[in-house]
Amino acid sequence: MSDDKSIRVKVIEVTRWAPTLLSFKVTRPDGFKFTAGQFVRLGIHGKDLQYFAQNHETKLITSETQGHEAQDYEEQGYETQGQPIDLDGYVFRAYSVASSPYDEFIEFFSVVIPQGEFTSKVNHIQVGDSLLLNTTPFGYLTLARYQLPLPNDLWLLATGTGLAPFLSILKTIDVWQQYQRIILVYSARTSQELAYQAEIGSIKSIYGDNGAAFVFLPIVTREADYAGEKARIPNLIVSGKLTELVGQKLDKERSHVMLCGNPQMVEDTKEALKSIGLTMNRRGEGNIAVENYW
């Protein structure tokens, strides 16, 4: 099995936020273009990861069936770019791009599911490892889906790694020029799992200076002594507390809303938004756009 869209990319940076949460940057394939908010398919194979080559126990499990060690791939190199790659044994998953379309690298923000076929391997990635990136970008969680004229406010509501497409959107200059206010609501289980806080803190000054006003509302759902907001996003909408916390009304006339992450949160939030009069976006019209992660 092979395809000519998958390109070998090299891991150039890994950041660990929490035991089950990490980000990684990979080299950007020549000519690879995407729109902020889109996702790609990433492929992983234990033979391309140094950990599996070095870890004796795991090597016993993987090497017999998977053949090569990471070193072999260093030697075969990344010059396989553009050539069909044998995809046998690779596990592919959808991943939103977290980096800006203008960046020279591509960044991803990943959960680790201990029994997950893909992420149990991603958990061990190190600088120098390689992954496959299918260079066809997918998805409509992008600004292009909305018809002009745009309303005043853009609400970006994320749980967990559902933050990724919004980071990419916030790292474009257009979004800051097209809206008057951008509100990012980011919910995680614990404060440790609220990743990218420093980056979010400086994002407006880098990409949106003189552009839209920015409100960032971090929320945790499972940490009893967290000093900030502890609530679920749908409840905040229905109770009207979101308006109070953000200082801005979420309404049909002036808001676009994008939701991304946990399907239950997406479903409940959609219903909460509909209950206050917002509508799903179809063919450019309506307020709400969504992306489910599983």
Ligand X SMILES: Cc1cc2nc3c(=O)[nH]c(=O)nc-3n(C[C@H](O)[C@H](O)[C@H](O)COP(=O)(O)OP(=O)(O)OC[C@H]3O[C@@H](n4cnc5c(N)ncnc54)[C@H](O)[C@@H]3O)c2cc1C
Give contact residues for ligand X (rule: CB under 6 A): 39, 93-96, 108-111, 113, 116-119, 160-161, 164, 291, 293-294
* Other CB atoms within 10 Å distance of the CB of residue 240: 11
Q: How far is the CB of 244 from ligand X (least distance, A)?
A: 29
For ligand X, give the closer residue by CB, 152 or 221: 221
Q: How far is the CB of 41 from ligand X (least distance, A)?
A: 8
For ligand X, give the closer residue by CB, 94 or 173: 94
Q: How far is the CB of 25 from ligand X (least distance, A)?
A: 13
Is the link from the previous residue into 19 a cis peptide, with omega within 30 of 0? Answer: no
Q: How far is the CB of 293 from ligand X (least distance, A)?
A: 4
Place of tokens 């991943």: 95
**From the centroid of its chain, how far is CA 56?**
33
**Mind spelling out the 3-state secondary structure of 103-134?**
CCEEEEEEECCCCCCCHHHHCCCCCCCEEEEE
For ligand X, give the closer residue by CB, 94 or 217: 94
Q: Quick check: 249 and 243 in contact, CB under 8 A?
A: yes
Q: How far is the CB of 98 from ligand X (least distance, A)?
A: 7
For ligand X, give the closer residue by CB, 7 or 163: 163
Q: How far is the CB of 161 from ligand X (least distance, A)?
A: 4
How far apart are the C-alpha atoms of 268 and 272, rounded to whole Å? 6
For ligand X, give the closer residue by CB, 108 or 214: 108
Encoded amino acid at 95, one letter: Y
For ligand X, give the closer residue by CB, 106 or 250: 106
Quick one: which of 290, 269, 263, 160 has its CA closest to 220? 160
Residue of minimal CB distance from ligand X?
A: 116
The pair phi, psi for residue 114, each rounded to 5°, is -50, -40
